[in-house]
Amino acid sequence: MRKFALAASAIAVTAALAVTGCSTRGSSGSGSTEEASGFAEDAVIGVALPDKTSENWVLAGQLFEDGLAEAGFDGDVQYAAATNTVPDQQNQISSMVTKGAKVIIIGAKDGGQLSSQVKAARDAGAIVIAYDRLILNTEDVDYYVAYDNEKVGELQGQALLDGMAAKKPEGPYNIELFSGSSDDANSAVFFGGAMKVLQPKIDDGTLNVVSGQTDIKQTSTAGWLAKNAQDRMDTLLAANYSTAELDGVLSPNDTLARAIITSVKAAGKPIPIVTGQDSEVESVKSIMAGEQYSTINKDTRALVAQAITMVQQAQKGEEIETNDDESYDNGVIVVPAYLLPPQIVTKENAAEAYANDPTLEPLTRQ
């Protein structure tokens, strides 16, 4: 588990601000009245996170605990880990409301099943911030803080094309597509961004999805679980690649990328170009070893720091900064968002990308 001081996060957020710019949304909008009046410096701040299936969720929990304490708040950080189910998170959010949390930050286990809980939070005067994953089909969410997830997908799609072209300059290319868990609202955003890049190449024959599985329902990976991705890759290889060569695989994150590579190795086939996301330690090692082709750098330190900055602005009764008030429609309202810029990482730029990361930078030294 990586653990960093919040001071390092502030540097990253400052850089993000410089890149993205910002706008502000006044408290006369749909935000809670708490936003206008502020609240006590030692108030309870709830943080409900989905699970510990990736390094970044584990890191986020620790960073929230440390950062909220450093800022003087009474942080209540919970994972939906007892049974790893949506009811776990629903109960945790309800408990945070009962404790009088002034802000509740939610990394949704299932963004479509929290409407009752966030309504109760808003009715109790709390500000609701969706963290990393959008909360769907409710007006009772004030803000969204995340990396630009559509851009993540676009970067993944382009990396797949670039990697295959570098390895084999002339197409066409045989590929397979993977997407994330259907209960994660981000999965469709990642996949949609990637398909903006890839679909024209499928249409013109540059890319051939040999299995024919191009719909997100066919490509989804339940629970973001490595086993599910590996099992599906095993099936795809057995059914479609007895003689055909697999040139590339769109993988939505690093955990699934490594599972896909494990499947390919077990089948005794050459490793194709495989994308990823999250800059997980084992995937950075894999990239430097020439196996996984790419990942996306979405510094969790910067994202947590920005969420805590929003809490501090609310505590002081200030306007909460956003920089995108148009893009994230949750089915009921367009949620004001603060988006940080993602960065594609390959072996060629890994040292530069992780120059300020004390855990990952040493892995990039040749």
List the CATH number of the domain containing 191: 3.40.50.2300
More confident residue, 55 or 308: 308
Tell me how far CA of residue 356 lies from CA of 8, 258, 284, 351, 359, in angstroms: 9, 25, 15, 9, 9
Query: Is 335 a member of any domain?
Result: yes
Do 282 and 304 lie in one domain? The reply is no
Query: Is 354 a member of any domain?
Result: no
Query: Is 364 a member of any domain?
Result: no
Do 153 and 290 lie in one domain? The reply is yes
Tell me how far CA of residue 321 lies from CA of 87, 125, 141, 163, 363, in angstroms: 31, 19, 15, 37, 35
pLDDT of residue 11: 38
Do 218 and 316 lie in one domain? The reply is no
Query: Is 358 a member of any domain?
Result: no
Average pLDDT of the chain to the nearest whole number: 90
Question: What is the total count of domains within the chain?
Answer: 2
Could you tell me the pLDDT band of residue 5, with boundaries at 50, 70 and 90?
Answer: very low
Do 238 and 180 lie in one domain? The reply is yes
Do 73 and 42 lie in one domain? The reply is yes
Query: Is 347 a member of any domain?
Result: no
Do 73 and 175 lie in one domain? The reply is no
Query: Is 360 a member of any domain?
Result: no
pLDDT digits (tens, 9 = 90+) for 290-332: 999 999 999 999 999 999 999 999 999 999 999 999 999 999 9
Query: Is 353 a member of any domain?
Result: no
Do 158 and 285 lie in one domain? The reply is yes
Do 126 and 165 lie in one domain? The reply is no
pLDDT of residue 279: 95
Do 126 and 20 lie in one domain? The reply is yes
Percent of residues in the chain assigned helix, strand, coil, to nearest 5: 45, 15, 40
Look at residue 337 and give its three-state secondary structure. strand
Do 224 and 328 lie in one domain? The reply is no
Do 209 and 111 lie in one domain? The reply is no
Range of the domain at 215: 149-297
pLDDT digits (tens, 9 = 90+) for 146-199: 999 999 999 999 999 999 999 999 999 999 999 999 989 899 999 999 999 999
Model confidence pTM above 0.85: no
Query: Is 17 a member of any domain?
Result: yes
Do 168 and 292 lie in one domain? The reply is yes
Of 272, 297, 322, the residue at which a domain comes to its end is 297
Could you tell me the pLDDT band of residue 282, with boundaries at 50, 70 and 90?
Answer: very high
pLDDT digits (tens, 9 = 90+) for 56-108: 899 999 999 999 999 999 999 999 876 778 999 999 999 999 999 999 999 99
Residue of 48, 52, 77 whose CA lies nearest to 64:
77
- What does the DSSP assignment read for 147-210? E-HHHHHHHHHHHHHHHHHHH-SS--EEEEE----TTSHHHHHHHHHHHHHHHHHHHTTSEEET
